[in-house]
Structure 1
């Protein structure tokens, strides 16, 4: 049996194991940089397998090295495993047991498929050339990025290329998506605290209402993209938190706002940061409030190396995998992804695996009712496994 056929059969036989792992992780989610139990679960999975397992970075990162013993390139396959601070509303037998924490982005599925794929690559390693590094990464969802910590810890030492994948509830089951060049947005975040003077609601002239200043700021903020950013550029600004809680008859002395910036090129980031600072200072002057603020550059734009992406995609299209119904360029994606840090260091590509569910409803990522079709895990494992085999066995 050819190794491609053998790996595909092994993965199909292990689909129930992927589902079991995913459901365990889904029921026991952990926030970024708090994933100790998940870390221990992953390490325990590799006990007794012929590979080298190491902790990496200053959090809960893990690397697994699979060495064929023969010369050749080193490919890294990466999956993340942190969850989000969201209360799950799905009625599932494996619903989150951790109050206020949920796998609402599919990282449980990423970890499940990669564990089972790694197990089978270990079993077949004598038929390979070169080596594979499995990257189990914490803290994708929250800065400081788990990718940065692992890179500082040497995760990319000796690695030639990196492949990552993400399940996508907005793409049909059976689809593998890709894009070359700038493929996912870069991200910044900001916090602004406007400080006025509190007082009684019946005597506003004796106070200085921070809520009014904050509301003006939120409204004016929308003009940055509409009037200061080139129309063809990809940019968005969101205020996701406005801390104005108080009583109905008291004028609020201070409010804190937290926001999110997404861009597809660094020049746009510079424009938005500059205009945001101008607007903050303008709000100070207009309303006579004081502003304390922080603007933080976070994840860079994710750049998929065109040559390496073409190599991987061409390879996937050259084989028949019944579960994969299309391999399609879905264009740039709106979310950000800290895989971009790996792509800054090594020629990389990040693929998307459709996971929409059959009920026809929209189950968005980062929502309390996020859901995926668990069949996507076998598709992801087969796609990543095929890419790995073709990479290591190419002439």
Structure 2
């Protein structure tokens, strides 16, 4: 019933949405620094006379569209933050901030949800219920979703379901992937130090070499996944950095190692860091060194609600056609803090394709995608919101 109107309105507002995307792209802001981005969002929502709440979760913005008739409340979410990457794409709207760029598509998420706001605001007089438009900070690292939830974004009015999407380089443009159950892993972080005793490189016997000890620890920890976890249970332990020493002929006092642990299973999420520390403790004690170990939990795994995902797939097929909506074959070991919303209310997160000739690599200085995808993003979020409210009126 609403699909043709949604598509018509998305075309009407397309040029404005593209301009907004370009503005966000040229002025990227990283976690909890999204001040100008938030101001632009507030201005756009105010122009539409949508109720706005600012500074939720520090820099987050919430818009509330109230339908003419009573009903449920659906939450639509977009993340706003950029990355500390220097852009290498030659486009007219290239980042103007050295060392920062939208290398993951969040500029499209934000502009796309503003497009959805424009669409839904035009048809609110026929809607039963409310739509919360959540523009969230700090998805890339700090988990702004949790802060917004803690500050009450799911209440007043109470949220009954949540939907979100991600522009995705592994899905072809014009297609959408949904996923029942696990979609993305918990992206936790670890940091450990091996503390030895520095000395002259020519006299290792009177030193305690933290480099060789760190290497032994890393090699042993690599067997946790390969030898101590069921091969059918997804898990990743990746070492991302190792720092120690400054001269070729000096044994340093300490070495610092950082990395990430990715799991879907909450028991494994707790068990892996415990085993890592036990390995580190044993090797350092055996070699006469000491250690420091820190494990930082970021987001939980993103688990889509099956019934809500069934609903989303049916709704999304109205926008791109049933033949262009498919089930993701496997979950992804990336992380996504929309998981916090999915823990609290029935939720579904889907992937909107941006790939054309070849897959697009996220978090890459050459990350790029076509503005045309904004149409699908705005239409898709509007359609799931309208269908959800109508089904539950």
Q: TM-score, normalised by structure 1?
A: 0.94
Contact kept? 2:42, 2:54, Cα under 8 Å: no
Aligned residue number for residue 11 of structure 2: 12
Deviates more, 1:31-40 or 1:150-159: 31-40
Secondary structure of 2:102 counterpart: coil
Please provide the CA RMSD for this pair. 1.6
Q: Given the alignment of the two structures, is residue 328 of structure 1 paired with residue 316 of structure 2, yes or no?
A: no
Contact kept? 2:354, 2:360, Cα under 8 Å: no
CA deviation after TM superposition for structure 1 residue 149, in Å: 0.5
Contact kept? 1:56, 1:154, Cα under 8 Å: no
Aligned residue number for residue 41 of structure 1: 40
Residues 168-207 of structure 1 aligned to structure 2 (within 5 Å): 168-207=168-207
Q: 1:77 to 1:209 in 2, by over 3 A?
A: same
CA deviation after TM superposition for structure 1 residue 320, in Å: 5.4
CA deviation after TM superposition for structure 1 residue 181, in Å: 1.4
Aligned residue number for residue 50 of structure 2: 51
CA deviation after TM superposition for structure 1 residue 348, in Å: 0.4
Aligned residue number for residue 133 of structure 1: 132
Segments of structure 1 that go 5 or more residues without pairing to the other structure are: none
Q: 1:246 to 1:326 in 2, by over 3 A?
A: same
CA deviation after TM superposition for structure 1 residue 46, in Å: 1.6
Residues 338-349 of structure 1 aligned to structure 2 (within 5 Å): 338-349=337-348
Aligned residue number for residue 93 of structure 2: 94
Secondary structure of 2:63 counterpart: strand
Q: TM-score, normalised by structure 2?
A: 0.95
Q: 1:321 to 1:328 in 2, by over 3 A?
A: closer
Secondary structure of 2:71 counterpart: coil
CA deviation after TM superposition for structure 1 residue 302, in Å: 0.9
**What are the superposed Cα offsets for residues 77-125 of structure 1, whole Å, 9 maximum, x if unpaired?**
0000101122222222222222222211110110011011102211221
Residues 292-307 of structure 1 aligned to structure 2 (within 5 Å): 292-307=292-307
CA deviation after TM superposition for structure 1 residue 286, in Å: 2.8
Aligned residue number for residue 393 of structure 1: 390
**In structure 2, C-alpha distance between the alignment counterparts of 1:217 and 1:320, rounded to whole Å:** 51
CA deviation after TM superposition for structure 1 residue 384, in Å: 1.3
Deviates more, 1:16-25 or 1:226-235: 16-25
Aligned residue number for residue 372 of structure 1: 369
CA deviation after TM superposition for structure 1 residue 349, in Å: 0.4
Deviates more, 1:29-38 or 1:230-239: 29-38
**In structure 2, C-alpha distance between the alignment counterparts of 1:163 and 1:336, rounded to whole Å:** 16
CA deviation after TM superposition for structure 1 residue 47, in Å: 2.3
**In structure 2, C-alpha distance between the alignment counterparts of 1:214 and 1:357, rounded to whole Å:** 43
**In structure 2, C-alpha distance between the alignment counterparts of 1:198 and 1:368, rounded to whole Å:** 38
Q: Given the alignment of the two structures, is residue 210 of structure 1 paired with residue 240 of structure 2, yes or no?
A: no
Residues 203-242 of structure 1 aligned to structure 2 (within 5 Å): 203-242=203-242
Aligned residue number for residue 378 of structure 2: 381
Contact kept? 1:209, 1:252, Cα under 8 Å: yes
**In structure 1, C-alpha distance between the alignment counterparts of 2:37 and 2:219, rounded to whole Å:** 42
Secondary structure of 2:22 counterpart: helix
Residues 67-146 of structure 1 aligned to structure 2 (within 5 Å): 67-143=66-142, 145-146=143-144
Q: 1:75 to 1:232 in 2, by over 3 A?
A: same
Contact kept? 1:173, 1:354, Cα under 8 Å: yes
Structure 1's consecutive aligned runs of 4 or more residues displaced over 6 angstroms after TM superposition are none
